[in-house]
């Protein structure tokens, strides 16, 4: 890995940590406690930004999958793969934080609500995306199959986003668009969104770096094998 790449990743990591600390301060100290739901409502400032990043991650998978099938350049596959790995992590956190929030508010950990079900389907699609890559006999074959799934699977993202408008669901409406947040709450949410987005960029950057190193190691092993033969 070159020096510029190391410096870039270190800068991203430093900025991400600083913003995350600021976001945590705002969530737990700055923003006032919501009068109806109480302290449990603070998970909103994690749940929504995490969901946003999950959508962003799979949008990046979608775009880079198209670019890979078009250009057949492995760099696009590398971006898609790294973004999918991070997206699965964030979608898992969406399901976990949603369940934690649902228990005190709805009295249950899980319900087959349209948005929740669509979110679970999204998680399963991208877990399958990663499994296909691992079990493919060749890297190029795995990249092609995963790219197709990455494109088709993205259809579920707008379904998740629009579920509360299409169907009657238990899931609350988007408060940020309904005027349900006061100024401190809106400011805290925006800072959290920026913090988690930068964390996503940092994780993807590190993921791409690791994949480049793995490809270089594989290339060197192939060269050594050819010379040995």
Question: What does pLDDT average to over the chain?
Answer: 86
Report the DSSP beta bridge partners of residue 38: 34
SS3 135: helix
Q: How many Cα atoms within 13 Å fall on the side-chain side of residue 101? A: 19
Q: Give CA separation, 112 vs 154, 176, 197, 220, in Å.
A: 21, 24, 28, 50
Number of domains observed in the structure of the chain:
1
Residue 168 pLDDT exceeds 70? no
Token code pair at residue 49: 């930004």
Read off the pLDDT band of 93 (50, 70, 90): very high
d(CA 78, CA 142): 12
∠ CA 166-169-173, nearest 5°, is 80
Q: What is the pLDDT of residues 17-41, one digit of tens each?
A: 999 999 999 999 998 887 777 788 8
**Mean pLDDT value across residues 1-12:** 78
End-to-end CA distance of the chain: 29
Residue 177 pLDDT exceeds 60? no
Q: What is the pLDDT of residues 33-67, one digit of tens each?
A: 877 777 888 898 999 999 999 999 999 999 999 99
Let me know: does 187 contact 132? Beta carbons within 8 Å.
no
**163 vs 154: which has the higher pLDDT:** 154
Q: What secondary structure letter does DSSP report for 2?
A: -
Token code pair at residue 133: 């890559």
Residue-number span of the structural domain to which 175 is assigned: 3-228
Give the number of other Cβ atoms within 10 Å of residue 42's Cβ.
17
What CATH number should be reported for the domain holding residue 26?
1.20.120
Residue 146 pLDDT exceeds 80? yes
């Amino acid at each position: 890995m070159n020096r510029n790449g190391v410096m870039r990743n270190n800068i991203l990591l430093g900025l991400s940590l600083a913003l995350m600390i600021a976001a945590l301060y705002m969530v737990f100290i700055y923003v006032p406690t919501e009068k109806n739901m109480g302290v449990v409502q603070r998970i909103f400032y994690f749940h929504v930004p995490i969901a946003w990043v999950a959508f962003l991650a799979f949008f990046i998978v979608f775009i880079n999958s198209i670019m890979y099938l078009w250009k057949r350049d492995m760099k696009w596959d590398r971006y898609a793969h790294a973004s999918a790995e991070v997206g699965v992590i964030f979608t898992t956190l969406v399901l976990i934080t949603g369940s934690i929030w649902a228990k005190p508010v709805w009295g249950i950990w899980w319900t087959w609500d349209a948005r929740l079900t669509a979110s679970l389907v999204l998680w399963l699609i991208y877990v399958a995306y990663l499994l296909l890559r691992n079990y493919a006999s060749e890297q190029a074959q795995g990249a092609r199959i995963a790219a197709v799934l990455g494109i088709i699977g993205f259809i579920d993202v707008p379904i998740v986003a629009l579920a509360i408008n299409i169907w009657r669901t238990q899931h609350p409406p988007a408060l940020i668009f309904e005027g349900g947040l006061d100024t401190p709450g809106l400011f805290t949410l925006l800072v959290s969104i920026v913090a988690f987005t930068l964390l996503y960029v940092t994780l993807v950057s590190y993921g791409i770096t690791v994949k480049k190193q793995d490809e270089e190691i594989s290339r060197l092993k192939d060269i050594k094998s050819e010379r040995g033969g």
